[in-house]
Amino acid sequence: DTGVSQDPRHKITKRGQNVTFRCDPISEHNRLYWYRQTLGQGPEFLTYFQNEAQLEKSRLLSDRFSAERPKGSFSTLEIQRTEQGDSAMYLCASSYLQGHTEAFFGQGTRLTVV
């Protein structure tokens, strides 16, 4: 297992277009998290899944954002009608339930909305 994998690494899109990102967590990890990081800031929590159930969503996750984790494996994050303010690094992390709290991050997807 090579860790958390995110695809694509970079995405440039025009304002108003839809984009979808994928995250493949570490295989035995039940929890999967999405964070957003803007330049010069720490990552901000967006949402997280325990297996296939989405347990919490941040206020940062507007109606244009949707995340899924079918079958409790990989996850997708879709942004509809992108805006320039959506430009950021989108980070995925995973952790193992049952007492283990260490979260391991992927390399992120850098989104640029032009």
Partner 1 sequence: GENVEQHPSTLSVQEGDSAVIKCTYSDSASNYFPWYKQELGKGPQLIIDIRSNVGEKKDQRIAVTLNKTAKHFSLHITETQPEDSAVYFCAASIRGTDKLIFGTGTRLQVFP
Residue numbers at the binding site for partner 1 (CB under 8 A): 4, 6, 31, 33, 35, 40-45, 48, 55-56, 91, 95, 101-108
Q: Minimum distance between the CB of residue 42 and partner 1, rounded to whole angstroms? A: 3
Instruction: Note the Cα 5 to chain centre separation in Å.
Output: 11
Q: Smallest distance, Å, CB 60 to partner 1?
A: 12
Q: Of the two residues 84 and 98, which places its CB atom closer to partner 1 in the complex?
A: 98
User: Any residues with CB less than 8 A from the CB of 40 and at least 6 apart, and which?
Assistant: none
Neighbours of 53 (CB within 10 A): 9
